[in-house]
Structure 1
């Protein structure tokens, strides 16, 4: 394990010379804010030694050069909405905040692209596109608070990934600062390119370990004028989860397919002060269909209703804003029950998601913790929110370890992986080492060493130095 130098007065002075005294924070109460992210995992939290807020790419570059000169680690941070400890400064050092870099630089309607800085809120990008009759299809559930730089770093998924893909599929090009401080521009506003390595896609999704993305040119698409959201209610978990592959095979091309188990239905409904159909015993599938033709929408809705009925839906109703409010409040609602929890982000082939949910829900019943399950079911990504309830710390850690050992082995046996959208971060680091093919892991480490020879940028995330 690499050892880093502490942040000294000399380092502080060098940082102030770059960004100004106002944007270098060392007060204890400020530093305490940045010891954690949205993950409810206090055992991973670390307090940084300094927080720095650059205003532009050149200042980010100079900060990285300082970090290399003094051998001090840097943790880039967007809005801190990570639930995998991705923004936790594992080795203390410098936390580099991107929030001042919050400008939409260009929105080109004819070219259907938008160039933005990394600190722009995702919802502001979505709204700017909507105003021009366009769609930015990246849509993580935290879009009202997360920043686009964090979305790019983790390759965030979200509600529209079934139809449009994840964040990496919404990007033409990026500007990034490498761990050494060098500034690079990668990718281009092209429909296709076979010119050298695809380096922009290498940095996207690398969780800030290979570079700090400072700008991005994002793809926009025409905004479909016709849309309908449907809530399919099931009182049988097996039937609810079996719906997904049948929807895909029916050729409905849904924009999103979201699943909520009854634990989430009840907790999120209570938190939102709403009561929806079959609150007591229902599992929910929320399906969104979008088209450019009204007749096509009518045809697809008829087919969707038929598939839902065939799968044994108890009720099929229009999903209004109340339904989406309940869905958005799922994770937040569980904090009423426990302040200590962990969120699993498993992903399996879409054809396996029904079996996976049923198997792991059944397995979870052998433990004392409480499990809530939701899924971006249309793309095989399921989330287990596991809550520590009436357990000692020792039992919590022991049982969680046992459950993960069985769950991860099972998921990899289905051809799945540890994370579909949240990333590895610090929380899943040891499991990445355990479950990744050694040759693949060695290739990742070779790339990291080549790009970041001092292992300065976001150390302790994704892969370990050894």
Structure 2
């Protein structure tokens, strides 16, 4: 274990002076517990010594200077909606909560960007952009709860990735505070450069292990054209998966292509008090969003896509005729995890898998096989159009929660190894955190690990930034 400094009364007073009254929580176990775990579950939690809530970049810099001088570990934290323990303070020390840095600073119509602080809720940014006639296209399924800073930290994806890409693609500039307290500015209000190594792309997905991002400049897209949602119901998963590549390759403007299997639909509709069409006999559903500039183009798009689905074996393809219909379809998809956890509070969603689209049928087959071998009931939800699959296993009734926490992660490790064997990786958007650290390290060559750990040392020579995550071990 690293020899980290403790937070003495003198240091506590320094932190309080740096961020002002109400900005530091210490010696309050109930309040600290709220920052000790994330959505991976309490089993992975660890108490911090203090929670510090800066209100601006200067305060973040002041806190980091204290932490660097005293070798106190710092765990940056957004909304705590992560699923891999990324915001859990494994080494204690300071949780640096960015919840007070929640301002949308500017909507720049000329340069088509928004300037935001990391604590802005993603959906608030989406709404603010829409009010000015733009689209912020970074759209994870946690859009109503997650912070934009957390999206950047994990390079979050979501339902619109096949059209617009993941968070890294949307971030043009960033202000960040290094572990030393120095402030750097990266990128800007432009969309291309060949001006040295791209540090901003390095920070995207780094899960708070390199620096604290305090401001983001994000790209805004023109508002999309007319859209319509289709729900296709399938008797077998083989027929469903066969449709996906044909839909994506149809030449039509596909915004989203999402998959839900029968278990997830069953438990989520029970949770929501609704039903989907053909629910008694469907093994799975595709939820597809099509875009067109005109009614004629839109109609041509959804008719073409609907025919593909029917030709591949779909029972029915339902076209949403109103916003209410569309909302009902998406409500099941967006509440999939909540639906599974209503069935079993211990349902585990820390593992998402990424494989090439061509490997999706085989990966889903292997998930089903391994689930049966491990005696686990599972629901599957997926951004299937880009090969990002989210298995959600349920705890066996006779297993203790403590045993289940370890068993589920061993199960996910087995799935990740299958994904890697098929040319994929162990996470498309949830991140690594500490839950997936070992399998990440096992998947990399010694040469690559040395390069990656060298980057970590260059940014953070004292290993105070979110230690125990990604490529920064605790010992």
TM-score (norm 2): 0.95
Query: In terms of mean alpha carbon deviation, does 369-378 or 246-255 score higher?
Result: 246-255
Alpha-carbon distance between aligned partners in 2 of 1:397 and 1:82, rounded to the nearest angstrom? 16
Alpha-carbon distance between aligned partners in 2 of 1:22 and 1:404, rounded to the nearest angstrom? 40
CA contact (8 A) 1:266 1:280 kept: no
Matched, 1:331 2:337: yes
Partner of 1:418: 426
Partner of 2:323: none
Equivalent residues in 2 for 1:98-177, closer than 5 Å: 98-177=98-177
Alpha-carbon distance between aligned partners in 1 of 2:406 and 2:111, rounded to the nearest angstrom? 54
CA contact (8 A) 1:369 1:396 kept: no
Alpha-carbon distance between aligned partners in 2 of 1:107 and 1:236, rounded to the nearest angstrom? 46
Alpha-carbon distance between aligned partners in 2 of 1:317 and 1:382, rounded to the nearest angstrom? 24
1:350 aligned to which of 342, 357, 377: 357
Partner of 2:29: 28
* CA deviation vs aligned residue, 1:329-351 (integer Å, no higher than 9, x gap): 11011222323232211000111
Specify whether residues 353 and 33 from structure 1 end up closer, same or farther in structure 2 by C-alpha distance, changes over 3 A only: same
Alpha-carbon distance between aligned partners in 2 of 1:71 and 1:216, rounded to the nearest angstrom? 27
* CA deviation vs aligned residue, 1:141-161 (integer Å, no higher than 9, x gap): 111111111011111101111
Alpha-carbon distance between aligned partners in 1 of 2:281 and 2:396, rounded to the nearest angstrom? 22
Partner of 1:264: 264
Equivalent residues in 2 for 1:23-422, closer than 5 Å: 23-26=23-26, 27-40=28-41, 42-282=42-282, 283-319=284-320, 320-343=326-349, 344-393=351-400, 396=404, 399-400=407-408, 403-422=411-430
* CA deviation vs aligned residue, 1:308-364 (integer Å, no higher than 9, x gap): 111111110024211111111110112223232322110001111122112211221
Query: In terms of mean alpha carbon deviation, does 420-429 or 188-197 score higher?
Result: 188-197
Alpha-carbon distance between aligned partners in 1 of 2:253 and 2:373, rounded to the nearest angstrom? 37
Specify whether residues 66 and 376 from structure 1 end up closer, same or farther in structure 2 by C-alpha distance, changes over 3 A only: same
Alpha-carbon distance between aligned partners in 2 of 1:307 and 1:223, rounded to the nearest angstrom? 27
Alpha-carbon distance between aligned partners in 2 of 1:374 and 1:135, rounded to the nearest angstrom? 25
Alpha-carbon distance between aligned partners in 2 of 1:421 and 1:108, rounded to the nearest angstrom? 28
TM-aligned CA deviation for residue 7 of structure 1: 1.9
Alpha-carbon distance between aligned partners in 2 of 1:437 and 1:294, rounded to the nearest angstrom? 52
Query: In terms of mean alpha carbon deviation, does 327-336 or 386-395 score higher?
Result: 386-395
TM-aligned CA deviation for residue 112 of structure 1: 1.1
Specify whether residues 275 and 341 from structure 1 end up closer, same or farther in structure 2 by C-alpha distance, changes over 3 A only: closer
Query: In terms of mean alpha carbon deviation, does 431-440 or 98-107 score higher?
Result: 431-440
CA contact (8 A) 1:367 1:399 kept: no
Specify whether residues 174 and 405 from structure 1 end up closer, same or farther in structure 2 by C-alpha distance, changes over 3 A only: closer
Alpha-carbon distance between aligned partners in 2 of 1:340 and 1:72, rounded to the nearest angstrom? 33
TM-aligned CA deviation for residue 107 of structure 1: 0.5
CA contact (8 A) 1:47 1:92 kept: yes
Q: Secondary structure at the match of 1:355?
A: helix
* CA deviation vs aligned residue, 1:263-299 (integer Å, no higher than 9, x gap): 1111111111111112223211000112223322122
Alpha-carbon distance between aligned partners in 1 of 2:390 and 2:245, rounded to the nearest angstrom? 18
TM-aligned CA deviation for residue 370 of structure 1: 2.1
TM-aligned CA deviation for residue 399 of structure 1: 4.8
CA contact (8 A) 1:338 1:389 kept: no
Aligned residues: 465
CA contact (8 A) 2:172 2:217 kept: yes
TM-aligned CA deviation for residue 378 of structure 1: 0.7
Matched, 1:452 2:453: no
Alpha-carbon distance between aligned partners in 2 of 1:171 and 1:464, rounded to the nearest angstrom? 25
TM-aligned CA deviation for residue 438 of structure 1: 2.2
* CA deviation vs aligned residue, 1:60-96 (integer Å, no higher than 9, x gap): 0111111111111001111110011111111111011
CA contact (8 A) 1:174 1:187 kept: yes
Alpha-carbon distance between aligned partners in 1 of 2:422 and 2:14, rounded to the nearest angstrom? 51
Alpha-carbon distance between aligned partners in 2 of 1:91 and 1:280, rounded to the nearest angstrom? 49
Uncovered stretches (5+) of structure 2, i.e. residues with no partner: 321-325
Specify whether residues 436 and 366 from structure 1 end up closer, same or farther in structure 2 by C-alpha distance, changes over 3 A only: same
TM-aligned CA deviation for residue 398 of structure 1: 6.9
Q: Secondary structure at the match of 1:206?
A: coil
Q: Secondary structure at the match of 1:464?
A: coil
Partner of 1:437: 445
Alpha-carbon distance between aligned partners in 2 of 1:325 and 1:119, rounded to the nearest angstrom? 25
Partner of 1:9: 9
Query: In terms of mean alpha carbon deviation, does 277-286 or 265-274 score higher?
Result: 277-286
Alpha-carbon distance between aligned partners in 1 of 2:64 and 2:153, rounded to the nearest angstrom? 17
CA contact (8 A) 1:48 1:94 kept: yes
Specify whether residues 70 and 402 from structure 1 end up closer, same or farther in structure 2 by C-alpha distance, changes over 3 A only: closer
Q: Secondary structure at the match of 1:430?
A: helix
